[in-house]
Amino acid sequence: MAATRRPPTLFRNLNAKIAAIPMILTALVVFVGGTAWTVVYSFTNSRLLPREKFVGLDQYERLWSSNKWLISIENLFIYGICSLVLSLIIGFVLAALLDQKIRFENTFRTILLYPFALSFIVTGLVWQWILNPQFGIQAVVRSLGFESFSFDPLYNPDIVIYGILIAGLWQSTGLIMCLMLAGLRGIDEDIWKAARIDGIPMWKTYLFIVIPMMRPVFITTLVIIASGIVRVYDLVVAQTSGGPGISSEVPAKYVYDAMFLSQNLGQGFAGSTMMLLAVIIVIVPWAYLEFGGRKRHV
Amino acid sequence: MSNTGALNIAAAGADAAAHDLAGPRGARPKRALSGRNIMIYGTLAVVSLYYLLPLYVMMVTSLKGMPEIRMGNIFAPPMEITFEPWVKAWATACTGLNCEGLSRGFWNSVRITVPSVFLSIAIASINGYALANWRFKGANLFFTILIVGAFIPYQVMLYPLVIILREMGLYGSLTGLVLVHSVFGMPILTLLFRNYFTSVPEELFKAARVDGAGFWGIYFKIMLPMSLPIFVVAMIIQITGIWNDFLFGVVYTKPDLYPMTVQLNNIVNSVQGVKEYNVNMAATIITGLVPLIVYFASGKLFVRGIAAGAVKG
């Protein structure tokens, strides 16, 4: 092909380029531009409106000396660790149970997954009702004669985040179960047969053969759960609105409150930049594992 | 590494093993009531009960009158079934000064969801098609940015989008919100369509080109009719995702135009007045109804959709 006869590269494949304009705009303007804008303005002293008066790391210093932010981080940490560990364990165990060639598999799967179709608002409101100490579980158990029984996670500042965790797990373990089930179905049948011939007990086969083989599924699931955790917002708003006091605040809510309620944009930008940092810390190693090795062949 | 070593040996022995297992005795005869079965079904039944409990409690509460709620416990079935809470939740429940019930939020959600779903799928499918079949220089870079962007917390982009929408004169309007949903639906939908169109046999595409079909001709006459299932999956992701959205609704619209989720939260978590738990639960069910119907109606396609859409969170 004579390169000189080609039309200018800009106009080659013009239709495809026109079709890609929305994607390019989204990628550059919203994702790159928006992110850069927020990061830059997190170094200003913007309050009601964004201002270009740069104050260095002031916003971050204020952020990290704010009690509300520290509690948010602590909550996110507890919620995150528990939700990661528990949803992986519960999701995997449920998937393993469903993978035993049982009857009614579809029924069980449907029941376990339906909460995922519901919004965090709906999930939060239902569990707020069930955990209501005046009418909910606590009242029911007390009416059975256990007068001193106490279970009011949403009204107890020390354990409120676990109350939110209960609802969060209820909503999302179905999805994890589905991902794990897909992973289990991808394991070669022969491996099970071989393990059985060798007399390896089932739990050992799972622990030492199947789970290591499912590493990619686990990593993907981990990333999905982790990036969901950082965004936790609706659930808290619906269940406790951050209360009692500020004991169930989370970073996403801190950012929202700063930006849209207390007219403190700078704090909002600094908070969201910290959230971005957290996600980058999770994503970069994963992207490296997932795509880094393959790049060399392409 | 010793594990994989053992695995190789195990895999190598698998052929011989399969031979043995295929012998006349077949698989171990299954007893219906073996201890193992009781354990598996028992565990699943208990877990299922736990997962169903909230739905049951919602349902039961929404059918009781307030006196009965104050007297009894939340798990007891209603003694006298009343649909009044449902009517009230739909038509007269109050948020702030407004007392039109959830119906307003419902229609707002419809007016948000329908155009958002169409717009985002139209844009993303054409986009994915261009990326899969008409690769151009630099396309992969933008695509990578888009996919990485899906992991950025929304909070980082909330305010810049407020500014962009304000400059466009769309801040606080439904059109603005539709645009926002289309933007944030873009990564996952584009990925979905790109992967699907890549799997379409290339010969088909080449044959169409030889026949003289262009960019749009191939899209409308070949790709679109061939890919209905993936369009359905995309619709499931978008309908449930947009219907369930709270954050964008609360940031980019004003009280008159709040979607259903926002209105529901305002009704239930309003501080004034007596808490009518039955009305609240009826309202909660009504809000959850649309995604639940989509879920039950679409069955296996939903699983495919959420597995693909999980990154959207």
pLDDT band at B136 (very low <50, low <70, confident <90, very high): confident
Domain for residue A129, yes or no?
A: yes
Domain for residue B11, yes or no?
A: no
Per-residue pLDDT at B62 exceeds 80: yes
User: A171: distance to nearest CA of chain B, Å?
Assistant: 9
Domain for residue B211, yes or no?
A: yes
Can you tell me which residue has the tokens 């877990």?
B47
Per-residue pLDDT at B264 exceeds 90: yes
Same domain, B269 and B140: yes
Q: Which tokens go with A116? A: 């995922």
Higher pLDDT, B30 or A85: A85
Same domain, B209 and B300: yes
pLDDT band at B301 (very low <50, low <70, confident <90, very high): confident
Per-residue pLDDT at B127 exceeds 60: yes
Of B50, B51, B281, the CB nearest to A129: B281
Per-residue pLDDT at A26 exceeds 70: yes
- Flag if A224 and B311 touch (Cβ within 8 Å): yes
pLDDT band at B50 (very low <50, low <70, confident <90, very high): very high
Same domain, B71 and B108: no
Identify how many contiguous H helices and E strands chain B contains and give both numbers. Answer: 16, 0
Same domain, B128 and B210: yes
In this predicted model, what pLDDT tens digit does every residue of A181-208 receive, in sequence order? 988 988 888 888 898 899 888 888 899 9
Alpha-helical regions (H) of B134-153: 139-149
Spatial distance between the Cα atoms of B202 and B198, rounded to a whole number of angstroms: 8
- Flag if A32 and B53 touch (Cβ within 8 Å): no
User: B36: distance to nearest CA of chain A, Å?
Assistant: 10
pLDDT of B24 reads: 47
Per-residue pLDDT at A84 exceeds 90: yes
- Lowest-confidence range among A1-10, A93-102, B161-170? A1-10
Per-residue pLDDT at B305 exceeds 80: no
Cα–Cα distances in angstroms (integers) from residue B151 to residues A11, A251, A275, B159, in the given order: 32, 16, 11, 17
- Flag if A117 and B295 touch (Cβ within 8 Å): yes
Domain for residue A230, yes or no?
A: yes
Q: Show residues of chain B in contact with A102, CB under 8 Å.
A: 40-41, 44
Q: Which tokens go with A104? A: 């009614």
Cis, bond preceding A153 (omega within 30 deg of 0) = no
CB A20 within 8 A of CB B123: no
Domain for residue A42, yes or no?
A: no
CA nearest to B125, candidates B67, B182, B207: B182
Higher pLDDT, A80 or B301: A80
User: Mutating which of A21, A23, A49, A261 best tests the B interface, going by the most B Cβ atoms within 10 A?
Assistant: A23
Per-residue pLDDT at A217 exceeds 60: yes
Q: Does A276 touch chain B (CB under 8 A)?
A: yes
Spatial distance between the Cα atoms of B97 and B81, rounded to a whole number of angstroms: 30
pLDDT of A6 reads: 56
pLDDT of B166 reads: 94
pLDDT band at B20 (very low <50, low <70, confident <90, very high): very low
Can you tell me which residue has the tokens 């982009």?
B157
Helix (H) or strand (E) holding B89: helix B84-91
Q: Does A246 touch chain B (CB under 8 A)?
A: no
Highest-confidence range of A1-5, A153-157, B166-170, by mean pLDDT? B166-170
Spatial distance between the Cα atoms of A83 and A256, rounded to a whole number of angstroms: 23
pLDDT band at A298 (very low <50, low <70, confident <90, very high): very low
Q: Does A222 touch chain B (CB under 8 A)?
A: no
Q: Which tokens go with B21? A: 């297992």
Same domain, B42 and B115: no
Q: Show residues of chain B in contact with A99, CB under 8 Å.
A: none
- What ipTM was assigned to the predicted interfaces of this complex? 0.88
pLDDT of A9 reads: 66
In this predicted model, what pLDDT tens digit does every residue of A264-284 receive, in sequence order? 999 999 999 999 998 888 878
In this predicted model, what pLDDT tens digit does every residue of A91-123 receive, in sequence order? 999 999 999 888 888 899 999 999 999 999 999
pLDDT of B11 reads: 38
Structural domain of residue A163, as residue ranges? 67-297
Side chain identity at A79, as an amino acid letter?
Answer: Y
Total domain count for chain B? 2
Q: Show residues of chain A in contact with B159, CB under 8 Å.
A: 37-38, 50, 259, 265, 268-269
Contacts of residue B154, defined as CB under 8 A and 6 or more positions apart, other chains included, come to A231, B184, B247, B248
Q: Which tokens go with B203? A: 């010969």
Domain for residue A1, yes or no?
A: no
Same domain, B277 and B228: yes
Q: Domain ends where: B81, B116, B142?
A: B81
CB B116 within 8 A of CB A15: no
Q: Which tokens go with A290? A: 């997932």
CB A173 within 8 A of CB A90: yes
Domain for residue A23, yes or no?
A: no
In SS3 terms, B166-224 reads as HHHCCCECHHHHHHHHHHHHHHHHHHHHHHHHHHCCHHHHHHHHHCCCCHHHHHHHHHH
Per-residue pLDDT at B313 exceeds 60: no
In this predicted model, what pLDDT tens digit does every residue of B187-199 receive, in sequence order? 989 999 998 998 8
User: Mutating which of A29, A37, A125 best tests the B interface, going by the most B Cβ atoms within 10 A?
Assistant: A125
pLDDT of A294 reads: 54
- Lowest-confidence range among A68-77, A221-230, B19-28? B19-28
Domain for residue A168, yes or no?
A: yes
Cα–Cα distances in angstroms (integers) from residue B6 to residues A201, A209, B36, in the given order: 15, 9, 27
pLDDT band at B27 (very low <50, low <70, confident <90, very high): low
pLDDT of B30 reads: 55
CA nearest to B279, candidates B75, B98, B103, B88: B88
CB B151 within 8 A of CB B184: no
Domain for residue A45, yes or no?
A: no
pLDDT of B204 reads: 86
Side chain identity at A187, as an amino acid letter?
Answer: I
Structural domain of residue B111, as residue ranges? 103-311
In this predicted model, what pLDDT tens digit does every residue of B201-229 receive, in sequence order? 888 888 888 988 888 999 998 889 888 88
Cα–Cα distances in angstroms (integers) from residue A232 to residues A42, A122, B181, in the given order: 21, 14, 18
Same domain, B74 and B212: no
Rounded to 5°, the CA angle B51-B52-B53 comes to: 95
CB B267 within 8 A of CB B273: no
Domain for residue B16, yes or no?
A: no
Same domain, B71 and B177: no
Same domain, B190 and B299: yes
In this predicted model, what pLDDT tens digit does every residue of B79-96 receive, in sequence order? 888 898 999 999 888 877
Higher pLDDT, A3 or A292: A292
Per-residue pLDDT at A296 exceeds 60: no
Which residues 141-160 of A have a C-beta within 8 angstroms of B?
Answer: 143
Spatial distance between the Cα atoms of B175 and A54, rounded to a whole number of angstroms: 34
Total domain count for chain A? 1
Same domain, B127 and B256: yes
Per-residue pLDDT at B52 exceeds 90: yes
Domain for residue B155, yes or no?
A: yes
Domain for residue A91, yes or no?
A: yes
Domain for residue B3, yes or no?
A: no
Same domain, B173 and B258: yes
pLDDT of B29 reads: 53
CATH number of the domain where residue A132 is located: 1.10.3720.10
Same domain, B77 and B225: no
Side chain identity at B164, as an amino acid letter?
Answer: I
- Flag if B311 and A13 touch (Cβ within 8 Å): no
Give mean pLDDT, residues A40-67: 90
pLDDT of A5 reads: 56
Q: What's the mean per-residue pLDDT of chain B?
A: 84
CB B286 within 8 A of CB B134: no
